[in-house]
Structure 1
Amino acid sequence: MRPWAIFRGKVNRSLLAAVFGALLTAGVGTFLHTFPMGRGLIRHSYDLQLVARGDVAAGEAVMVYLDEAAYGALAQPFNAPWDRVLHARLIDRLTAAGAKAIVFDIVFSDANTNNPAADPQLARAMKASGRVLLAVD
């Protein structure tokens, strides 16, 4: 049998096509991660998935996201922690709405120097709710 005979036939051509596709995918991936334009395209691709899906009605879980619009609407500084009074009010509202669990992916490890009275208010809201889970640092 000749060595080049392995490239004949449908199975072997399929294997060759799969190897070529894998090399092409690896090359495109390397290109995208190497250049700034590619990294921007990668970040943009995450958003495209959500745009294509459209809005989804809340089912079992609702996520409250602290985005730029929320920073502006609630007059919170971009370079400092949020006022914890806002978190306490959110806990109260979610508890009143019947939330079964309230999970914070925020670490409240340092004392609030901007509003020292906010820490006890947040602690009271968490204790009264009894449904709050916190992130660990």
Structure 2
Amino acid sequence: MARTHSSRRTGIAATPGSHQHSNPPTNGPPQIWKPPAHGVIKINVDGSFLQETGEAAVACVCRDSRGALVDGLARTVRASSAIQAEAQAILQTLKHFEGKEEQEIELESDNWELAKSLMESTPVNWEIEALISEV
């Protein structure tokens, strides 16, 4: 499914076997990165959350169809859950691209619940409702 953001067509997807926990399961086959179509930038986002402090780290890696790194970011934010950290990662990534040259992007998250909410415009977890409304 695609969503529009800042005149860009943005595809949002979750990888198979996705989770909403801050510590992913280690069983199962490793996931292999698949390049986007020519002319599209694929952005993989992730968030990590430390419950004891309420601190989170968010990051994105942006690659072209050849797999070449074209951009990225990493920063710390405040969050109260793993899903909030992941939502912050998506929001911070989209804000990072505001005002830059218009580019078709494919945004990939490993959080199925969050990706599904964005793809299908379904009701979202109350913890991320305000963040999602900014996307």
| TM-score, length-scaled by structure 2 | 0.31
Structure with higher RCO (Cα < 8 A, 6+ apart):
2
| TM-score, length-scaled by structure 1 | 0.31
Highest CA radius of gyration, 1 or 2? 1
Q: Which has the higher strand share?
A: 2
Q: Which has the higher helix share?
A: 1
